Chain A
């Protein structure tokens, strides 16, 4: 609740959030209702959610409620229905959904809220947008695993739909909506169970049909594989360079991941993007904008732009206003 005004002041135009009560956590300690592990990053009570909605609405800002686990079983629906009804009573503006069963359930219940399709909806083409539009969706979130050009090709062909794209934090190595690894299986004190599976160190064995493969090339392949392990998903990954195209494409929302981050970091992230959006209003060239975005990134996060931390690394490698 206390974050609402600070983030609106920094430039936030929409909020998304989750809620997790003890009753759910006792039954499903490693399965969150909204894909965030227990701990930070959730409301704990519907009263608090309601107050946050009121604060946001008072500033003219909508608030969306995440119920975006990849699937729910029948046994969970009694609790889920209570969450949905509680969120509606609190006044949320939309549910963010992945599971097709829950999508159908929400339609059947006729809740007076919008339906947003989570990145778990895996919208990689214009027909997927059309499909979800037929299912009553009002907004889709693009997967992280699309290039800027591919997003442009989808928006050019799709039916009218509000869209959201990721631009900061948690650059997942695998496709979120298809990944079936499960993280946070134990407390932080047991890192091999807590950490994201894709970031664990692996011993790598190359299997090749090419028996004449030189040793150096095998070593190269193993080293390449190990890059995977060094890519920490939250070491300030950034896609701000793409704002130039996203504004022209009509992408309606820029998603900043990190519900559990400290308020200071959230404010910094929002402020960073707000400054860039303000710069875009001055109609800079793409090259000039990219240059400014990178300078501002380095100034804000004290890091150089790095290919493996770039949401859209083609801007670094293909000359698309990269340098």
Chain B
């Protein structure tokens, strides 16, 4: 089982990471938090010094973010062409396929759309077997979906550790699976509540507005009894924590664990 260590900023390298053989680095949810060229080069240098394989994490992007990402992919392709790139945007995949074919695309968890809302656990034992199987399954048991991914050069897909259990039986062994722990993604917005959250004059700004990256200083824990466990709002994304090891790991249907020392950006 490969173990990867996922950080969103260079500062997070302070966390112990000796047990890992791969470094994930980058922003997954907000283009404003993509690393600078300098930070990417630093992460690449550190990964080389520590003999770590390298995976570059990318978010969904607007045209402006796409241009910025193009520059970073160029650095990556020239410095570390054996790198993986986790794509959470079909346009980023198009960029890689057309401009940087030497980089290896991985389907990110934003494009792998299992249901993650914790409320499912309140009814999981009351719903028909077919529905339960659906909620625990994925489209990777559909031949057309697997064909589509392989045609796009994708041979690895990222999974969250969903509370209802992850059933990967019947999925294509030609698609490798990674499991993220302990933070599972639930939802994301561009109407970022954390943006300008300490400016009373912008209290009703629920839209796409400039921000001061307040998310680097604040996060929110959200409690409602129906959720059974706290939700964590970090930046523009929502997570929960699940530290249980799913059966899919015991069955060796997952071949990489991606450890997040903090909720990622």
CB within 8 Å of B: which residues of A? Answer: 26-31, 70-77, 98-105, 108, 120-132, 134, 145-147, 150, 153-154, 157, 173-175, 177-182, 185-186, 192-193, 197-198, 200-210, 217, 220-221, 223-225, 227-228, 231, 306-308, 310, 312-314, 317
In the complex, which of the residues B94, B117, B142, B231 contacts A72, with contact meaning CB atoms closer than 8 Å?
Answer: B142
Known contacts A75-B134, A180-B116; is-contact A224 B122 (Cβ 8 Å): no
> Which residues does chain A contribute within 8 Å of B26, judged by CB atoms?
none
Known contacts A31-B131, A73-B137, A127-B91; is-contact A314 B204 (Cβ 8 Å): no
B185 close to A (CB within 8 Å)? yes
* Mask: chain B, 111-130; 1 = CB below 8 Å from A; 0 = not: 10111110110110001101
A101:B148 contact, CB within 8 angstroms: yes
User: In the complex, how many angstroms separate the beta carbon of B68 from the nearest chain A beta carbon?
Assistant: 11
CA gap between A28 and B89 in the complex, in Å: 29
* Mask: chain B, 50-76; 1 = CB below 8 Å from A; 0 = not: 000000000011111110000000000
B231:A202 contact, CB within 8 angstroms: yes
CA gap between A307 and B205 in the complex, in Å: 7
Known contacts A127-B92, A201-B224, A204-B220; is-contact A101 B139 (Cβ 8 Å): yes
Closest 5 CB pairs of A and B: A101-B145, A127-B91, A128-B91, A70-B113, A313-B207
B2 close to A (CB within 8 Å)? no
B231:A74 contact, CB within 8 angstroms: no
CA gap between A125 and B219 in the complex, in Å: 28
Known contacts A174-B189, A210-B217; is-contact A73 B91 (Cβ 8 Å): no
Known contacts A127-B66, A131-B90, A205-B223; is-contact A29 B128 (Cβ 8 Å): yes
Q: Name 27 A/B residue pairs within 8 A (Cβ), A-sorted.
A: A31-B131, A73-B141, A74-B141, A75-B137, A99-B145, A100-B145, A108-B144, A120-B113, A125-B62, A125-B89, A131-B90, A146-B62, A157-B63, A179-B186, A182-B119, A197-B117, A204-B222, A205-B222, A209-B217, A210-B218, A217-B198, A221-B218, A223-B203, A227-B204, A228-B193, A310-B207, A313-B206
CA gap between A190 and B204 in the complex, in Å: 29
B91:A202 contact, CB within 8 angstroms: no
> Which residues does chain B contribute within 8 Å of A104, judged by CB atoms?
144-145, 147-148
B244 close to A (CB within 8 Å)? no
User: In the complex, how many angstroms separate the beta carbon of A25 from the nearest chain B beta carbon?
Assistant: 10
> Which residues does chain A contribute within 8 Å of B116, judged by CB atoms?
180-181
Given A29-B131, A181-B117, 4 more A-B residue pairs with CB atoms under 8 Å apart are A125-B63, A145-B190, A175-B189, A193-B123
B89:A122 contact, CB within 8 angstroms: yes
Nearest A residue (CB) for B137: A73
CB within 8 Å of A: which residues of B? Answer: 60-66, 89-95, 110-111, 113-117, 119-120, 122-123, 127-128, 130-131, 133-135, 137-139, 141-145, 147-149, 170, 185-191, 193, 197-200, 203-209, 217-227, 231, 233, 238
In the complex, which of the residues B93, B138, B206 contacts A308, with contact meaning CB atoms closer than 8 Å?
Answer: B206
> Which residues does chain A contribute within 8 Å of B222, judged by CB atoms?
202-205, 225
> Which residues does chain A contribute within 8 Å of B206, judged by CB atoms?
173, 227-228, 231, 307-308, 313
In the complex, which of the residues B93, B193, B226 contacts A224, with contact meaning CB atoms closer than 8 Å?
Answer: B193
> Which residues does chain B contribute within 8 Å of A129, judged by CB atoms?
91
CA gap between A65 and B234 in the complex, in Å: 37
> Which residues does chain B contribute within 8 Å of A197, judged by CB atoms?
117, 119, 187, 227
A208:B217 contact, CB within 8 angstroms: yes
CA gap between A42 and B41 in the complex, in Å: 53
> Which residues does chain A contribute within 8 Å of B209, judged by CB atoms?
314, 317
> Which residues does chain A contribute within 8 Å of B142, judged by CB atoms?
72-74, 77, 101, 105
User: In the complex, how many angstroms separate the beta carbon of B173 from the nearest chain A beta carbon?
Assistant: 15
B191:A224 contact, CB within 8 angstroms: no
A28:B139 contact, CB within 8 angstroms: no
CA gap between A99 and B130 in the complex, in Å: 19
CA gap between A186 and B227 in the complex, in Å: 14
CA gap between A177 and B114 in the complex, in Å: 11
